[in-house]
Amino acid sequence: MPYTQDRVHEIVQAQRRFFRTGATLDVNWRITQLKKLKQAVLDHQQMLEEALYEDLGRSPVEAYLCDLGPIIVEVNEILRGLKRWAKPEKHFSGLMCFPSTRTTVYKMPYGVSLIISPFNFPMLLTLGVLAAGICGGNTAVIKASSKSAASTRALQKLVADTFPEEYVTVIDGGHDVADMCLAERFDKIFYTGSPAVARHVLEAASHYLTSVALELGGETGNWCVIRKDANLQDAARKIAFFKLCNAGQICININQIAVAEEVAEEFLTELKASFIRQIGEHPETNSEYPKLITGAVYDKCERLTREYRDRVIFGGAGCRETNRFAPTILYPVTMDEEIVRHELFCPILPVVPFRDTEADRVMEVISGREHPLAMYIFTSDMKWAERVMSTQQYGGGCINEVCIHMMVKGVPFNGTGHSGMGSYHGEWGFREFTHPQTVLKGRTRWNLSLREHPYSGDAGKKKMALLKLFEK
């Protein structure tokens, strides 16, 4: 049934009524819902895997590795920590507040949340965010991507089989339906996608001053920097795996590589060999290799390959019938070319050579662009690597590794600026979906006149002396 503004409004209002019953405030009740979510993923695993194959050509192993397994890990982490995270904090009120001695900070849910999820990891970036919303005590309206239609249908069934609509529901449709959702008053919005659409989300949220979290890929893409002292075979193996994963359609994927020219040829030889070893010489015809989400993305790959045909040193072929396009290396590319100044979100991989002695200048150029969601460095110089990683601005990253920083338990995930705002995973997701409310418990006896007039004369002098004493 097509959605209308009235229908969307009805869903939001029903969730608001349900939230106001107070049912979601009970932490034990939330734990029960999280267990239901986890079991639903397990019970619907085959359906979810089939949907991921239909939309993105994912094999069952890759589907579980990238989408389904991390949901289970996320829920398990929340189940272990939720009671501790949600426990109200007790604080001493301080001498300035005498005779009050106790202040409590309650971790309150925002209320009715809107989760707008993307096509590239349609299960993880929907149900993983939902888990954070549930653990915070919120209800959720989920606007799933119309590009990954099979996955959206699967999500609708899973959620409808598990939760009542007034608690959690999945809405499908295109940008028009998303705008219907954004026209409603929500208490929290979590959007995953592009910076361009994020601006639209923020503009809509500003009408109601709604709290927003954004997980974005970054305007100018994620860099991988390879110094001449790096283990080139190790770097090539990891980069090849990562670029093959979901055919490059990953917000934290490597958008472009900067490699020391002293070892560039050796590295590229290793990278080509790693691609072939992992997926074969013709990945575009390999059913295990994921496909592109739409024909438009395929057209972009073809266009870029044509534009850089004299610099295609690997790949460059595709199969329009299956919508698969081989990982394609472009070399050499300069740091000022347009292709390395925006996110590609596909299997095209520009490679920029630089003199190893100019590594700091490369990092300066990167830092002068929009903040990326991820940063990757391969080197044996840990002092340099740690200095760079502790002074650059980006979402997260790795030294001599790719992508798995986001799988570490207990740490936040997200970007900054054009790569996002807010954070989630584990306790950070709980914090993102709750508001800390401070409540001081006053007393009716022994109240001092310190804060009351008069402020002049001897009384004022005594009060000033006490105020400065209490500040210590």
Active site residues: 215, 251
Among residues 299, 399, 420, which one has the least CA distance to residue 348? 299
Among residues 243, 227, 261, 245, which one has the least CA distance to residue 315? 243
Amino acid present at 67:
D
- Distance, in Å, from the CA atom of 171 to the CA atom of 194, rounded to the nearest integer, reads 20
Kindly report the number of other CB atoms within 10 A of residue 211's CB atom. Answer: 17
Cis before residue 99, ω within 30 degrees of 0? yes
Among residues 400, 52, 29, 420, which one has the least CA distance to residue 216? 420
Please give, one letter per residue, the 3-state secondary structure of the chain: CCCCHHHHHHHHHHHHHHHCCCHHHCHHHHHHHHHHHHHHHHHCHHHHHHHHHHHHCCCHHHHHHHHHHHHHHHHHHHHHHHHHHHCCEEEECCHHHCCCCEEEEEEEECCEEEEECCCCCCCHHHHHHHHHHHHCCCEEEEECCCCCHHHHHHHHHHHHHHCCCCCEEEECCCHHHHHHHHCCCCCEEEEEECHHHHHHHHHHHHCCCCEEEEEECCCCCCEEEECCCCCHHHHHHHHHHHHHHHHHCCCCCCCEEEEECCCHHHHHHHHHHHHHHHHCCCHHHCCCCCCCCCHHHHHHHHHHHHHCHHHEEECCCEECCCCEECCEEECCCCCCCHHHCCCCCCCEEEEEEECHHHHHHHHHHHHCCCCCCEEEEECCCHHHHHHHHCCCCCCEEEECCCCHHHHCCCCCECCCECCEECCECCHHHHHHCEEEEEEEECCCCCCCCCCCCCCCHHHHHHHHHHHHHHCC
- Distance, in Å, from the CA atom of 277 to the CA atom of 202, rounded to the nearest integer, reads 44
Handedness of CA 274, 280, 284, 288 (dihedral sign): negative
As a dihedral over the C-alpha atoms of residue 269, residue 275, residue 277, residue 280, rounded to 10 degrees, the angle is -120
